[in-house]
Amino acid sequence: MFHPIRLWSLYKIGRRTHRKMLIVDGAMSFTGGFCIADNWLGDARNPKEWRDMMVRATGPVSAQMQAIFGEDWTYTTGEILAGDKFYPRIAAAGEVQAQAIKVSRGDSSSLAEMLYFVAIQSARKSIHIQNAYFVPDAQIREALIQAARRGVDVRIMIPGRHIDMPLLRMASRRHYGELLQGGVRILEYNRTMLHSKNAIIDGIFSTIGSINFDARSLLQNNEESLAFYDRDFAARLEATFTADEKGCREVTYESWERRGVEQRLAEMVSGLFEPLY
């Protein structure tokens, strides 16, 4: 167990792993937003069945995922996973270029945030993001606005009324104004809780994994995702994004500006805890 709760170590309760990964025989790996709980047993047919996505990868990238798993295992147990049993020789599989990305608490900088920032800054046509918990820092928000202003189709799909963490939703909505005025489109998914953590850039670069667009995921948790450079794979994700848009309500600046005093107060209070989300 990673950081079991003890009375004498409650101060470490925020040091957690949020990684969601399964590696089979060191040669096949799965990741995404999925957890092992009842909410993931259905197909988003009602609010009790969450909307999520997972990806299966084979080939050498699974060795990278195994190394990320090994990092947590060694930290938790002290045992080092090594040798052919855990890292078998893996032949290339398919033609999709893939790479594992990780966030580890204590890193001098967030490699995941840098990757997203560079991808957003490099976009020329489209940025389509699905994310369960969207509270990006000022640098990422500005990068999204700059992308929209240079003509990039920037769409952010996030949970609507069925979100499991309403306080975080208020913190997210606090920043809607600057994003909407900057040309970013915001879509709230209202069929059930949207728990996906995906991004598609220019229809060729895409990511799927456990990483949320918030300070905790990008800087404090242990996290991981897979990045892919392939048009066919990105097209499949785009098709899913388009299908999910049918269950969304688009937020306009006018509707956001008309929100009541209670909501404005809730946004202000939730913003005080923004570094903790």
Q: Is 23 a residue whose pLDDT tops 70?
A: yes
pLDDT digits (tens, 9 = 90+) for 172-207: 999 999 999 999 999 999 999 999 999 999 999 999
Cα–Cα distance between 199 and 166 in angstroms, integer?
23
Domains and CATH numbers, the chain: 7-276 (3.30.870.10)
The pTM score is: 0.93
pLDDT digits (tens, 9 = 90+) for 227-261: 999 999 999 999 999 999 999 999 999 999 999 99
pLDDT digits (tens, 9 = 90+) for 129-167: 999 999 999 999 999 999 999 999 999 999 999 999 999
Cα–Cα distance between 245 and 70 in angstroms, integer?
37
Q: Strand pairing of 185-189 and 248-251? A: antiparallel
Separation in Å, CA 209 to CA 20, 218, 227: 7, 12, 9
Please identify every residue annotated as catalytic: 18, 20, 25, 195, 197, 202
Question: What residues contact 134, with CB distance under 8 A and at least 6 apart?
Answer: 156, 158, 172, 212, 213, 214
Question: What residues contact 49, with CB distance under 8 A and at least 6 apart?
Answer: 39, 41, 42, 43, 192
Q: Could you tell me if 129 and 116 are in contact, meaning their C-beta atoms sit under 8 angstroms apart?
A: no
Q: How many residues does this entry show for the chain?
A: 277
